[in-house]
Chain A
Amino acid sequence: MNVRKDFPILEKIIYLDSGATTQKPRCVIDAIQKFYLEDNANIHRGVYELSQRATKKFEHVREQVKNFIHAEHSHEIIFTRGTTESINLVAQCLSHNHIQKDDEILISAMEHHSNIVPWQLIAEKIGAKIKVIPITDLGEIELESFRKLFTAKTKMVAVTHVSNVLGTVNPIKEMIRIAHENNVPVLVDGAQAVPHLSVNVTELDCDFYAFSSHKMYGPTGVGVLYGKTEWLKKMPPYQGGGDMIERVSFEKTTYNKLPYKFEAGTPDISNVIGLGVAIDYLNQIGMHAITEHEKKLLAIATEELKKIPELKIFGESENKIGVISFTLNDIHPHDIGTILDHENIAVRAGHHCAMPLMQRFNVPAMTRISFGIYNTEKDIENLIKGLKIVHEVFHERIT
Protein backbone atom coordinates (compact mmCIF):
# COMPACT_ATOMS: atom_id res chain seq x y z
CA MET A 1 0.00 0.00 0.00
CA ASN A 2 1.72 3.11 -1.22
CA VAL A 3 -0.25 5.87 0.42
CA ARG A 4 2.11 7.47 2.91
CA LYS A 5 2.90 10.27 0.50
CA ASP A 6 -0.74 11.33 0.76
CA PHE A 7 -0.38 12.00 4.49
CA PRO A 8 2.10 14.82 5.07
CA ILE A 9 1.77 14.59 8.87
CA LEU A 10 3.27 11.09 8.89
CA GLU A 11 6.70 12.52 8.13
CA LYS A 12 6.75 13.70 11.72
CA ILE A 13 5.28 10.86 13.71
CA ILE A 14 4.83 7.11 13.96
CA TYR A 15 1.08 7.08 14.23
CA LEU A 16 -0.53 4.02 15.79
CA ASP A 17 -3.76 5.57 17.01
CA SER A 18 -6.07 5.50 14.00
CA GLY A 19 -8.78 4.01 16.20
CA ALA A 20 -9.00 7.39 17.94
CA THR A 21 -8.96 9.31 14.69
CA THR A 22 -7.27 8.71 11.36
CA GLN A 23 -4.93 11.15 9.71
CA LYS A 24 -6.33 12.93 6.67
CA PRO A 25 -5.04 12.57 3.13
CA ARG A 26 -4.07 15.74 1.32
CA CYS A 27 -6.98 15.38 -1.10
CA VAL A 28 -9.47 15.69 1.77
CA ILE A 29 -7.70 18.71 3.23
CA ASP A 30 -7.52 20.36 -0.20
CA ALA A 31 -11.18 19.67 -0.97
CA ILE A 32 -12.33 21.49 2.15
CA GLN A 33 -10.23 24.50 1.29
CA LYS A 34 -11.42 24.41 -2.32
CA PHE A 35 -15.03 24.33 -1.19
CA TYR A 36 -14.56 27.51 0.82
CA LEU A 37 -12.62 29.18 -1.98
CA GLU A 38 -15.02 28.34 -4.79
CA ASP A 39 -18.34 26.83 -3.74
CA ASN A 40 -19.33 28.11 -0.31
CA ALA A 41 -22.99 28.96 0.21
CA ASN A 42 -25.72 27.72 2.48
CA ILE A 43 -27.64 24.77 1.11
CA HIS A 44 -31.28 23.94 0.45
CA ARG A 45 -32.30 27.58 0.38
CA GLY A 46 -30.53 29.86 -2.05
CA VAL A 47 -32.12 30.57 -5.40
CA TYR A 48 -28.78 31.56 -6.80
CA GLU A 49 -26.49 29.27 -8.70
CA LEU A 50 -23.78 29.16 -6.05
CA SER A 51 -26.15 27.81 -3.43
CA GLN A 52 -27.54 25.29 -5.84
CA ARG A 53 -24.04 24.13 -6.62
CA ALA A 54 -23.21 23.73 -2.93
CA THR A 55 -26.47 21.86 -2.38
CA LYS A 56 -25.75 19.55 -5.27
CA LYS A 57 -22.29 18.74 -3.95
CA PHE A 58 -23.62 18.16 -0.46
CA GLU A 59 -26.40 15.88 -1.66
CA HIS A 60 -23.95 14.04 -3.88
CA VAL A 61 -22.08 12.96 -0.73
CA ARG A 62 -25.30 11.46 0.59
CA GLU A 63 -25.40 9.33 -2.55
CA GLN A 64 -21.77 8.37 -2.04
CA VAL A 65 -22.40 7.34 1.56
CA LYS A 66 -25.44 5.36 0.50
CA ASN A 67 -23.38 3.46 -2.06
CA PHE A 68 -20.43 3.06 0.29
CA ILE A 69 -22.47 1.20 2.91
CA HIS A 70 -24.80 -0.35 0.33
CA ALA A 71 -28.01 1.19 1.58
CA GLU A 72 -31.09 1.13 -0.62
CA HIS A 73 -32.16 4.75 -0.42
CA SER A 74 -30.26 7.98 0.03
CA HIS A 75 -33.06 9.37 2.24
CA GLU A 76 -31.97 6.74 4.78
CA ILE A 77 -28.65 8.54 5.19
CA ILE A 78 -28.72 11.25 7.85
CA PHE A 79 -25.76 13.52 8.50
CA THR A 80 -24.93 14.08 12.16
CA ARG A 81 -21.92 15.31 14.12
CA GLY A 82 -20.55 11.82 14.66
CA THR A 83 -21.27 8.32 15.89
CA THR A 84 -22.09 9.67 19.32
CA GLU A 85 -24.76 12.02 18.02
CA SER A 86 -26.16 9.33 15.73
CA ILE A 87 -26.67 7.00 18.68
CA ASN A 88 -28.12 9.74 20.87
CA LEU A 89 -30.55 10.60 18.08
CA VAL A 90 -31.86 7.06 17.89
CA ALA A 91 -32.02 6.63 21.67
CA GLN A 92 -33.86 9.91 22.23
CA CYS A 93 -36.29 9.44 19.37
CA LEU A 94 -37.13 5.86 20.31
CA SER A 95 -37.71 6.86 23.92
CA HIS A 96 -40.84 8.81 22.91
CA ASN A 97 -42.95 5.85 21.93
CA HIS A 98 -41.02 2.68 21.13
CA ILE A 99 -39.15 2.14 24.41
CA GLN A 100 -41.27 2.56 27.51
CA LYS A 101 -41.23 2.04 31.26
CA ASP A 102 -39.88 -1.39 32.32
CA ASP A 103 -38.74 -2.21 28.77
CA GLU A 104 -35.30 -3.69 28.25
CA ILE A 105 -32.38 -2.56 26.12
CA LEU A 106 -29.57 -5.01 25.34
CA ILE A 107 -26.03 -3.75 24.91
CA SER A 108 -22.78 -5.71 24.97
CA ALA A 109 -20.00 -5.69 27.55
CA MET A 110 -17.59 -4.31 24.95
CA GLU A 111 -19.42 -1.09 24.09
CA HIS A 112 -17.80 2.30 23.82
CA HIS A 113 -19.23 4.80 26.31
CA SER A 114 -21.09 6.42 23.44
CA ASN A 115 -23.13 3.26 22.99
CA ILE A 116 -23.80 2.96 26.72
CA VAL A 117 -24.54 6.38 28.11
CA PRO A 118 -27.22 7.49 25.57
CA TRP A 119 -29.21 4.37 26.51
CA GLN A 120 -28.66 4.96 30.21
CA LEU A 121 -29.92 8.51 29.84
CA ILE A 122 -33.23 7.43 28.35
CA ALA A 123 -33.49 4.37 30.59
CA GLU A 124 -33.21 6.59 33.64
CA LYS A 125 -35.74 9.04 32.30
CA ILE A 126 -38.43 6.55 31.33
CA GLY A 127 -37.67 3.78 33.80
CA ALA A 128 -36.37 1.24 31.29
CA LYS A 129 -33.67 -1.33 32.05
CA ILE A 130 -30.29 -2.05 30.46
CA LYS A 131 -29.12 -5.63 30.19
CA VAL A 132 -25.58 -6.53 29.25
CA ILE A 133 -24.66 -9.19 26.71
CA PRO A 134 -21.65 -11.01 28.21
CA ILE A 135 -18.42 -11.69 26.35
CA THR A 136 -15.88 -14.49 26.60
CA ASP A 137 -12.26 -14.26 27.75
CA LEU A 138 -11.22 -14.21 24.09
CA GLY A 139 -13.32 -11.11 23.69
CA GLU A 140 -16.25 -12.53 21.76
CA ILE A 141 -19.98 -12.08 22.24
CA GLU A 142 -21.57 -15.04 24.00
CA LEU A 143 -24.21 -15.76 21.38
CA GLU A 144 -26.07 -18.31 23.47
CA SER A 145 -26.41 -15.91 26.38
CA PHE A 146 -27.49 -13.23 23.93
CA ARG A 147 -30.28 -15.46 22.69
CA LYS A 148 -31.46 -16.06 26.24
CA LEU A 149 -31.55 -12.39 27.20
CA PHE A 150 -34.64 -11.70 25.09
CA THR A 151 -37.93 -11.31 26.89
CA ALA A 152 -41.27 -9.82 25.93
CA LYS A 153 -39.91 -6.56 27.33
CA THR A 154 -36.85 -6.37 25.05
CA LYS A 155 -37.26 -3.35 22.80
CA MET A 156 -33.78 -2.57 21.50
CA VAL A 157 -30.39 -4.10 20.82
CA ALA A 158 -27.39 -1.79 20.48
CA VAL A 159 -24.08 -3.42 19.70
CA THR A 160 -20.75 -2.52 18.19
CA HIS A 161 -19.71 -3.99 14.85
CA VAL A 162 -16.02 -3.91 15.75
CA SER A 163 -14.66 -3.38 19.27
CA ASN A 164 -12.42 -0.34 19.59
CA VAL A 165 -10.42 -2.13 22.30
CA LEU A 166 -10.44 -5.83 21.43
CA GLY A 167 -10.63 -5.54 17.65
CA THR A 168 -13.27 -8.27 17.61
CA VAL A 169 -15.54 -8.26 14.58
CA ASN A 170 -18.85 -9.25 16.11
CA PRO A 171 -21.23 -11.68 14.39
CA ILE A 172 -23.74 -8.89 13.94
CA LYS A 173 -25.52 -10.46 11.00
CA GLU A 174 -26.38 -13.43 13.19
CA MET A 175 -27.23 -11.15 16.11
CA ILE A 176 -29.55 -9.07 13.94
CA ARG A 177 -31.27 -12.24 12.74
CA ILE A 178 -31.81 -13.36 16.33
CA ALA A 179 -33.09 -9.94 17.36
CA HIS A 180 -35.49 -9.79 14.42
CA GLU A 181 -36.84 -13.23 15.32
CA ASN A 182 -37.80 -11.54 18.56
CA ASN A 183 -39.16 -8.49 16.74
CA VAL A 184 -36.49 -6.25 18.21
CA PRO A 185 -34.67 -3.60 16.16
CA VAL A 186 -30.88 -3.35 16.18
CA LEU A 187 -28.57 -0.37 16.17
CA VAL A 188 -25.01 -1.14 15.10
CA ASP A 189 -22.14 1.11 16.18
CA GLY A 190 -19.98 0.98 13.06
CA ALA A 191 -17.39 3.56 14.09
CA GLN A 192 -14.55 1.02 14.03
CA ALA A 193 -15.88 -1.07 11.15
CA VAL A 194 -16.48 1.35 8.28
CA PRO A 195 -12.81 2.41 7.98
CA HIS A 196 -11.61 -1.19 7.76
CA LEU A 197 -14.29 -3.41 6.21
CA SER A 198 -16.70 -3.24 3.34
CA VAL A 199 -20.03 -2.72 5.09
CA ASN A 200 -23.35 -3.73 3.58
CA VAL A 201 -26.27 -2.51 5.71
CA THR A 202 -28.81 -4.08 3.38
CA GLU A 203 -27.30 -7.51 3.70
CA LEU A 204 -26.83 -7.10 7.45
CA ASP A 205 -30.48 -6.02 7.66
CA CYS A 206 -29.68 -3.72 10.60
CA ASP A 207 -32.24 -1.08 11.51
CA PHE A 208 -29.68 1.60 12.34
CA TYR A 209 -25.99 1.94 11.61
CA ALA A 210 -23.83 4.75 13.03
CA PHE A 211 -20.32 5.92 12.14
CA SER A 212 -17.93 8.89 12.14
CA SER A 213 -16.19 10.60 9.25
CA HIS A 214 -13.05 11.34 11.25
CA LYS A 215 -12.23 7.68 11.79
CA MET A 216 -12.39 6.97 8.05
CA TYR A 217 -9.90 9.57 6.77
CA GLY A 218 -12.52 12.30 6.57
CA PRO A 219 -12.75 15.48 8.64
CA THR A 220 -14.05 15.77 12.20
CA GLY A 221 -17.48 17.17 12.90
CA VAL A 222 -19.46 14.83 10.64
CA GLY A 223 -21.08 11.51 11.23
CA VAL A 224 -23.67 9.35 9.62
CA LEU A 225 -26.78 7.63 10.80
CA TYR A 226 -28.26 5.07 8.49
CA GLY A 227 -31.83 4.15 9.42
CA LYS A 228 -34.41 1.99 7.74
CA THR A 229 -37.19 4.05 6.19
CA GLU A 230 -39.91 2.48 8.29
CA TRP A 231 -38.14 3.46 11.51
CA LEU A 232 -37.19 6.93 10.39
CA LYS A 233 -40.81 7.58 9.41
CA LYS A 234 -42.09 6.40 12.77
CA MET A 235 -39.62 8.40 14.82
CA PRO A 236 -40.35 11.98 15.89
CA PRO A 237 -37.78 14.64 14.94
CA TYR A 238 -34.65 14.88 17.09
CA GLN A 239 -34.07 18.60 17.09
CA GLY A 240 -36.17 21.47 15.86
CA GLY A 241 -35.04 24.29 13.63
CA GLY A 242 -34.48 25.25 10.05
CA ASP A 243 -34.26 22.67 7.29
CA MET A 244 -36.22 20.03 9.20
CA ILE A 245 -39.59 21.69 8.66
CA GLU A 246 -42.07 21.77 5.85
CA ARG A 247 -44.37 24.50 7.07
CA VAL A 248 -44.24 26.47 10.30
CA SER A 249 -46.96 28.46 11.98
CA PHE A 250 -47.31 29.22 15.64
CA GLU A 251 -50.21 26.80 15.83
CA LYS A 252 -48.62 23.84 14.13
CA THR A 253 -45.49 22.83 12.31
CA THR A 254 -45.28 20.03 9.80
CA TYR A 255 -41.98 18.30 9.34
CA ASN A 256 -39.90 17.95 6.26
CA LYS A 257 -39.55 14.64 4.51
CA LEU A 258 -36.69 12.22 5.09
CA PRO A 259 -33.82 12.67 5.63
CA TYR A 260 -34.25 16.41 6.31
CA LYS A 261 -36.62 15.79 9.21
CA PHE A 262 -33.54 14.76 11.19
CA GLU A 263 -31.19 17.47 9.95
CA ALA A 264 -32.15 20.61 11.82
CA GLY A 265 -30.06 23.69 11.18
CA THR A 266 -27.17 24.32 8.83
CA PRO A 267 -25.05 21.19 8.65
CA ASP A 268 -21.26 21.01 8.53
CA ILE A 269 -21.31 21.49 4.76
CA SER A 270 -17.60 21.74 4.02
CA ASN A 271 -16.75 18.72 6.12
CA VAL A 272 -19.49 16.66 4.50
CA ILE A 273 -17.82 17.56 1.20
CA GLY A 274 -14.55 16.38 2.76
CA LEU A 275 -16.15 13.09 3.76
CA GLY A 276 -17.20 12.58 0.15
CA VAL A 277 -13.60 12.94 -0.96
CA ALA A 278 -12.47 10.51 1.74
CA ILE A 279 -14.96 7.96 0.42
CA ASP A 280 -13.62 8.44 -3.12
CA TYR A 281 -10.14 7.96 -1.75
CA LEU A 282 -11.07 4.73 0.07
CA ASN A 283 -12.86 3.42 -3.01
CA GLN A 284 -9.81 4.08 -5.13
CA ILE A 285 -7.68 1.95 -2.84
CA GLY A 286 -10.47 -0.57 -2.38
CA MET A 287 -11.92 -1.70 0.92
CA HIS A 288 -10.87 -5.25 0.26
CA ALA A 289 -7.23 -4.26 -0.17
CA ILE A 290 -7.45 -2.17 3.01
CA THR A 291 -8.81 -5.08 5.04
CA GLU A 292 -6.06 -7.36 3.75
CA HIS A 293 -3.30 -4.83 4.41
CA GLU A 294 -4.44 -4.27 7.98
CA LYS A 295 -4.91 -7.98 8.63
CA LYS A 296 -1.32 -8.55 7.57
CA LEU A 297 -0.10 -5.84 9.92
CA LEU A 298 -2.21 -7.31 12.71
CA ALA A 299 -0.66 -10.74 12.22
CA ILE A 300 2.90 -9.40 12.19
CA ALA A 301 2.38 -7.12 15.18
CA THR A 302 0.65 -9.85 17.20
CA GLU A 303 3.53 -12.23 16.54
CA GLU A 304 6.16 -9.64 17.45
CA LEU A 305 4.35 -8.49 20.58
CA LYS A 306 3.89 -12.02 21.81
CA LYS A 307 7.68 -12.42 21.87
CA ILE A 308 7.88 -9.81 24.60
CA PRO A 309 7.84 -11.49 27.99
CA GLU A 310 5.00 -10.52 30.28
CA LEU A 311 3.07 -8.77 27.54
CA LYS A 312 -0.58 -9.74 27.62
CA ILE A 313 -2.92 -9.13 24.69
CA PHE A 314 -6.63 -8.56 25.31
CA GLY A 315 -8.91 -9.71 22.53
CA GLU A 316 -7.86 -12.89 20.77
CA SER A 317 -10.81 -13.61 18.57
CA GLU A 318 -10.20 -15.28 15.22
CA ASN A 319 -12.40 -12.57 13.81
CA LYS A 320 -10.34 -9.57 14.61
CA ILE A 321 -9.05 -6.52 12.78
CA GLY A 322 -6.29 -3.99 13.24
CA VAL A 323 -6.45 -3.18 16.93
CA ILE A 324 -4.22 -4.61 19.67
CA SER A 325 -4.70 -3.74 23.32
CA PHE A 326 -2.20 -5.02 25.81
CA THR A 327 -0.66 -4.70 29.23
CA LEU A 328 3.03 -5.08 29.94
CA ASN A 329 3.88 -6.60 33.27
CA ASP A 330 2.90 -4.17 35.99
CA ILE A 331 3.94 -1.13 33.99
CA HIS A 332 1.05 1.27 33.78
CA PRO A 333 -0.15 2.10 30.24
CA HIS A 334 0.23 5.77 30.98
CA ASP A 335 3.95 5.29 31.60
CA ILE A 336 4.24 3.20 28.44
CA GLY A 337 2.44 5.94 26.52
CA THR A 338 4.81 8.62 27.79
CA ILE A 339 7.92 6.62 26.94
CA LEU A 340 6.65 5.73 23.46
CA ASP A 341 5.66 9.35 22.90
CA HIS A 342 9.18 10.33 23.76
CA GLU A 343 10.26 8.01 20.93
CA ASN A 344 7.73 9.79 18.70
CA ILE A 345 5.27 6.92 18.65
CA ALA A 346 1.61 7.78 19.23
CA VAL A 347 -0.43 5.09 20.97
CA ARG A 348 -3.51 5.21 23.14
CA ALA A 349 -3.21 4.56 26.86
CA GLY A 350 -6.08 4.43 29.28
CA HIS A 351 -9.57 3.00 29.48
CA HIS A 352 -10.42 3.70 25.82
CA CYS A 353 -13.87 5.04 26.69
CA ALA A 354 -14.83 1.54 27.72
CA MET A 355 -14.58 1.45 31.52
CA PRO A 356 -17.00 -1.48 31.88
CA LEU A 357 -14.80 -3.49 29.51
CA MET A 358 -11.71 -2.70 31.61
CA GLN A 359 -13.63 -4.05 34.60
CA ARG A 360 -14.56 -7.16 32.65
CA PHE A 361 -10.88 -7.92 32.17
CA ASN A 362 -10.00 -6.66 35.62
CA VAL A 363 -7.42 -4.08 34.58
CA PRO A 364 -7.57 -0.33 35.20
CA ALA A 365 -6.18 0.52 31.79
CA MET A 366 -4.57 -0.85 28.63
CA THR A 367 -2.20 0.35 25.95
CA ARG A 368 -3.68 0.20 22.47
CA ILE A 369 -2.24 0.33 19.01
CA SER A 370 -4.54 0.57 16.02
CA PHE A 371 -3.70 0.50 12.34
CA GLY A 372 -4.71 2.52 9.33
CA ILE A 373 -4.00 2.22 5.62
CA TYR A 374 -0.73 4.13 5.97
CA ASN A 375 0.91 1.93 8.60
CA THR A 376 3.83 -0.27 7.64
CA GLU A 377 5.95 -3.06 9.05
CA LYS A 378 8.50 -0.39 9.83
CA ASP A 379 6.01 1.19 12.26
CA ILE A 380 5.74 -2.14 14.04
CA GLU A 381 9.53 -2.44 14.22
CA ASN A 382 9.67 1.00 15.77
CA LEU A 383 6.98 0.10 18.24
CA ILE A 384 8.91 -2.98 19.34
CA LYS A 385 12.04 -0.88 19.74
CA GLY A 386 10.04 1.59 21.79
CA LEU A 387 8.74 -1.16 24.04
CA LYS A 388 12.33 -2.32 24.60
CA ILE A 389 13.08 1.14 25.90
CA VAL A 390 10.07 0.86 28.21
CA HIS A 391 11.58 -2.34 29.53
CA GLU A 392 14.93 -0.69 29.97
CA VAL A 393 13.50 2.22 31.90
CA PHE A 394 11.56 -0.06 34.20
CA HIS A 395 13.73 -3.13 34.51
CA GLU A 396 17.27 -3.46 33.32
CA ARG A 397 18.14 0.03 34.30
CA ILE A 398 21.62 1.16 33.35
CA THR A 399 22.73 3.20 36.32
Chain B
Amino acid sequence: MNELRELYQEMIIEHGRHPRNFCVLENASCKQEGFNPLCGDHLILFLIEKNGVIENISFQGSGCAISMASASLMTDAVKNKSIKEAEKLFQQFHLLITENKSEENLGKLAVLAGVSEFPARVKCATLAWHTLKAALQNETQTVSTE
Protein backbone atom coordinates (compact mmCIF):
# COMPACT_ATOMS: atom_id res chain seq x y z
CA MET B 1 0.00 0.00 0.00
CA ASN B 2 2.87 2.39 0.72
CA GLU B 3 4.10 2.56 -2.85
CA LEU B 4 0.54 3.15 -3.97
CA ARG B 5 0.15 6.00 -1.49
CA GLU B 6 3.43 7.37 -2.71
CA LEU B 7 2.14 7.30 -6.29
CA TYR B 8 -1.39 8.47 -5.66
CA GLN B 9 -0.71 11.34 -3.32
CA GLU B 10 -3.57 13.59 -2.33
CA MET B 11 -2.33 16.34 -4.59
CA ILE B 12 -2.24 14.03 -7.60
CA ILE B 13 -5.76 12.82 -7.07
CA GLU B 14 -6.93 16.35 -6.48
CA HIS B 15 -5.21 17.72 -9.60
CA GLY B 16 -6.37 14.67 -11.56
CA ARG B 17 -9.97 15.37 -10.64
CA HIS B 18 -9.79 19.15 -10.85
CA PRO B 19 -6.97 20.04 -13.20
CA ARG B 20 -5.71 23.62 -13.26
CA ASN B 21 -5.58 25.63 -16.49
CA PHE B 22 -8.12 23.24 -17.96
CA CYS B 23 -9.62 25.35 -20.72
CA VAL B 24 -9.22 26.49 -24.30
CA LEU B 25 -7.04 29.55 -24.89
CA GLU B 26 -8.83 31.35 -27.68
CA ASN B 27 -5.87 33.48 -28.69
CA ALA B 28 -3.29 30.71 -28.40
CA SER B 29 -0.26 31.20 -30.59
CA CYS B 30 0.27 27.47 -30.67
CA LYS B 31 -1.89 24.39 -30.28
CA GLN B 32 -0.48 20.88 -29.96
CA GLU B 33 -2.11 17.50 -29.61
CA GLY B 34 -0.66 14.63 -27.59
CA PHE B 35 -1.81 11.03 -27.52
CA ASN B 36 -0.86 7.86 -25.71
CA PRO B 37 -2.32 5.09 -27.87
CA LEU B 38 -1.65 2.37 -25.34
CA CYS B 39 -4.11 3.68 -22.80
CA GLY B 40 -5.92 6.38 -24.74
CA ASP B 41 -4.68 9.40 -22.77
CA HIS B 42 -5.30 12.39 -24.94
CA LEU B 43 -4.70 16.09 -24.53
CA ILE B 44 -4.48 19.34 -26.42
CA LEU B 45 -2.10 21.98 -25.20
CA PHE B 46 -2.68 25.68 -25.86
CA LEU B 47 0.01 28.24 -25.37
CA ILE B 48 0.80 31.85 -25.85
CA GLU B 49 4.48 32.39 -26.39
CA LYS B 50 6.08 35.80 -26.69
CA ASN B 51 9.77 36.56 -27.07
CA GLY B 52 10.75 33.12 -25.87
CA VAL B 53 8.52 33.24 -22.80
CA ILE B 54 5.45 31.11 -22.14
CA GLU B 55 3.00 33.84 -21.19
CA ASN B 56 0.02 31.58 -20.83
CA ILE B 57 -0.67 27.90 -21.15
CA SER B 58 -3.71 25.64 -20.80
CA PHE B 59 -4.87 22.18 -21.80
CA GLN B 60 -7.89 20.03 -22.39
CA GLY B 61 -8.22 16.28 -22.60
CA SER B 62 -8.90 13.08 -20.81
CA GLY B 63 -6.79 10.38 -19.29
CA CYS B 64 -5.63 8.69 -16.13
CA ALA B 65 -5.05 10.54 -12.88
CA ILE B 66 -1.30 10.58 -13.45
CA SER B 67 -1.46 12.11 -16.92
CA MET B 68 -4.08 14.69 -15.98
CA ALA B 69 -2.35 15.69 -12.75
CA SER B 70 0.98 15.90 -14.51
CA ALA B 71 -0.48 18.14 -17.21
CA SER B 72 -2.13 20.29 -14.58
CA LEU B 73 1.05 20.65 -12.54
CA MET B 74 3.13 21.26 -15.64
CA THR B 75 0.97 24.13 -16.84
CA ASP B 76 1.33 25.78 -13.44
CA ALA B 77 5.05 25.14 -13.39
CA VAL B 78 5.98 26.51 -16.81
CA LYS B 79 3.72 29.54 -16.91
CA ASN B 80 5.81 32.70 -17.22
CA LYS B 81 8.96 30.65 -17.71
CA SER B 82 11.25 31.02 -20.69
CA ILE B 83 11.41 28.20 -23.20
CA LYS B 84 14.94 27.39 -22.00
CA GLU B 85 13.76 27.16 -18.41
CA ALA B 86 10.83 24.95 -19.40
CA GLU B 87 13.10 22.60 -21.30
CA LYS B 88 15.44 22.37 -18.37
CA LEU B 89 12.53 21.68 -16.07
CA PHE B 90 11.47 18.78 -18.29
CA GLN B 91 14.95 17.27 -18.06
CA GLN B 92 14.87 17.53 -14.29
CA PHE B 93 11.36 16.20 -14.10
CA HIS B 94 12.27 13.25 -16.28
CA LEU B 95 15.16 12.40 -14.01
CA LEU B 96 12.83 12.58 -11.04
CA ILE B 97 10.19 10.21 -12.36
CA THR B 98 12.56 7.70 -13.90
CA GLU B 99 15.32 7.59 -11.32
CA ASN B 100 13.81 9.41 -8.36
CA LYS B 101 16.69 11.89 -8.48
CA SER B 102 16.30 15.61 -8.17
CA GLU B 103 19.08 18.14 -8.43
CA GLU B 104 16.94 21.15 -7.82
CA ASN B 105 13.80 21.93 -5.94
CA LEU B 106 11.03 21.07 -8.36
CA GLY B 107 8.29 22.43 -6.17
CA LYS B 108 4.91 20.78 -6.58
CA LEU B 109 6.19 18.67 -9.46
CA ALA B 110 7.98 16.59 -6.86
CA VAL B 111 4.72 14.88 -5.87
CA LEU B 112 5.11 12.80 -9.02
CA ALA B 113 8.32 11.20 -7.75
CA GLY B 114 6.35 8.05 -6.88
CA VAL B 115 6.07 7.31 -10.60
CA SER B 116 9.68 6.11 -10.49
CA GLU B 117 8.45 2.94 -8.77
CA PHE B 118 5.99 2.32 -11.62
CA PRO B 119 7.93 2.33 -14.89
CA ALA B 120 4.78 1.52 -16.88
CA ARG B 121 3.40 4.90 -15.86
CA VAL B 122 6.30 7.11 -16.94
CA LYS B 123 4.57 7.63 -20.29
CA CYS B 124 1.48 8.94 -18.54
CA ALA B 125 3.47 11.41 -16.50
CA THR B 126 5.45 12.69 -19.48
CA LEU B 127 2.68 12.97 -22.09
CA ALA B 128 2.03 16.64 -21.35
CA TRP B 129 5.75 17.41 -21.30
CA HIS B 130 6.43 15.71 -24.62
CA THR B 131 3.52 17.62 -26.06
CA LEU B 132 4.92 20.87 -24.72
CA LYS B 133 8.31 20.11 -26.18
CA ALA B 134 6.77 19.45 -29.58
CA ALA B 135 4.73 22.66 -29.34
CA LEU B 136 7.84 24.68 -28.61
CA GLN B 137 9.62 23.03 -31.52
CA ASN B 138 6.63 23.79 -33.72
CA GLU B 139 5.87 20.24 -34.72
CA THR B 140 2.65 19.67 -36.60
CA GLN B 141 2.08 15.96 -36.01
CA THR B 142 0.19 14.63 -33.01
CA VAL B 143 2.72 13.62 -30.39
CA SER B 144 2.59 9.99 -29.41
CA THR B 145 4.34 8.51 -26.41
CA GLU B 146 4.58 5.14 -28.16
Check A339/B4 contact, CB under 8 A, given A364-B62, A397-B10.
yes
Stretch at the interface among B26-34, B36-44, B76-84: B36-44
A350 touches B40 (CB 8 A): yes
Task: Kindly state the separation between the CA atoms of A191 and B89 in the bound complex, as whole angstroms.
Answer: 46
Q: How far is the CB of A328 from chain B (nearest CB, A)?
A: 12
Contact segment of A47-55, A227-235, A329-337 = A329-337
Considering the complex, give the chain B residue whose CB is closest to the CB of A398: B5
Tell me, in angstroms, the Cα distance from A330 to B64 when the chains sit together: 9
Q: How far is the CB of B68 from chain A (nearest CB, A)?
A: 8
Complex alpha-carbon distance, A338 and B42, angstroms? 18
Q: A330-B17, A335-B65, A389-B1 are in contact. Are A365 and B8 (CB under 8 A)?
A: no
Q: Which one of B45-53, B116-124, B137-145 is at the A interface?
A: B116-124
B7→A334 contact, CB < 8 A:
no
User: Interface of chain A, helix or strand or loop or mixed?
Assistant: helix
Contact between chains at A393 and B40 (CB < 8 Å):
no
Q: Report Cα–Cα, A399/B14, bound state, in Å.
A: 14
Find out whether the CB atom of A364 lies under 8 angstroms from the CB atom of B121: no
Q: Which of B81-137 contact A (CB under 8 A)?
A: 118, 120-121, 124
A393 to B4, CA, bound (A): 8
Determine whether the beta carbon of A332 is less than 8 Å from that of B65: yes
Name which of B1, B10, B66 has the most chain A CB atoms within 10 A of its CB.
B1
Q: Which residues of B contact A394 (CB under 8 A)?
A: 8, 13, 65
Residues from chain B with Cβ under 8 Å of A334 in the complex: 39, 41, 63-64, 66, 121, 124
Tell me how many residue pairs across A and B have CB atoms closer than 8 Å.
54
Say yes or no: is B3 at the interface (Cβ < 8 Å to chain A). yes
Chain A interface residue bracket vs B: 20 to 34
Q: Which of A338, A397, A399 contacts B121 (CB 8 A)?
A: A338
Give CA–CA (A332, B4) in the complex, Å.
Answer: 15
Q: How far is the CA of A355 from the CA of B124 in the complex (A)?
A: 19
Question: Closest 6 CB pairs between A and B?
Answer: A332-B64, A334-B64, A334-B39, A364-B40, A365-B40, A350-B39
Q: Give chain A residues whose Cβ lies under 8 Å from the Cβ of B1.
A: 389
Q: Which of A330, A333, A349, A393 has the most CB of B within 10 A?
A: A393
Assess the B4–A333 pair: CB atoms within 8 A.
no
A393 and B63 in contact, given A334-B124, A342-B3, A350-B39 (Cβ under 8 angstroms): no
**What would be 9 A-B contacts, judged by CB atoms less than 8 Å apart?**
A334-B39, A334-B64, A334-B124, A335-B8, A335-B65, A338-B120, A349-B39, A393-B8, A399-B10
Compute how far the CA of A397 lies from the CA of B4 in the bound complex, rounded to whole angstroms.
Answer: 12
**CA distance in complex: A397, B1 (Å):** 12
Q: Are B7 and A351 in contact (CB under 8 A)?
A: no
Most-contacted residue by chain B among A331, A334, A338, A358 (CB, 10 A) = A334
Do B4 and A342 touch across chains, with their CB atoms under 8 A apart? yes
Select from chain A the residue with minimum beta-carbon distance to B7: A338
Chain A hits for B10, CB < 8 A = 397, 399
Q: Which residue of B lies closest to A336 (CB)?
A: B64
Which chain B positions have C-beta within 8 A of A338? 7, 118, 120-121
Contact A335 B64 (CB under 8 A): yes
Known: A355-B40, A365-B40, A393-B4. 9 other contacts (CB 8 A): A331-B65, A332-B39, A332-B64, A334-B63, A334-B124, A338-B118, A364-B62, A393-B13, A397-B13
**Which residues of the partner chain A approach B17 to less than 8 Å between Cβ atoms?**
330
Most buried by A among B38, B39, B41, B63: B39
Please report the C-alpha to C-alpha distance between residue A333 and residue B124 in the assembled complex, in whole angstroms: 13
Query: In the complex, A394→B12 CA distance in Å?
Result: 10
CA–CA, A339 and B13, complex, Å: 14
**Whole-angstrom CA separation of A351 from B40 in the bound complex:** 7
When the two chains form the complex, which single residue of A330, A335, A364, A393 contacts B42, counting CB atoms closer than 8 Å? A364
In Å, the complex CA distance between A389 and B1 comes to 9
How many angstroms between the C-alpha atoms of A349 and B38 in the bound complex? Answer: 9
Contacts of A339 in B (CB 8 A): 4, 8
A331 to B118: give the CA distance in the assembly, Å: 18
In the complex formed, the residue of B with least CB distance to A341 is B120
Interface residues as binary, A385-399 with B (CB distance below 8 Å gives 1, 0 otherwise): 000010001100101
Chain A residues, CB < 8 A from B64 = 332-335
Complex Cα–Cα for A351 and B41 (A): 10
Residue numbers in B under 8 Å from A333 (CB-CB): 39, 64
Chain A residues closer than 8 Å to B118, beta-carbon distance: 338
Closest to B68 in A: A332
Give every chain A residue within 8 A of B42 (Cβ-Cβ). Answer: 364
Bound complex: CA A300 to CA B77 (Å): 48
Known contacts being A350-B40, A358-B40, is A364 close to B63, with CB within 8 Å? yes
Whole-angstrom distance between the alpha carbons of A397 and B14 in the complex?
12
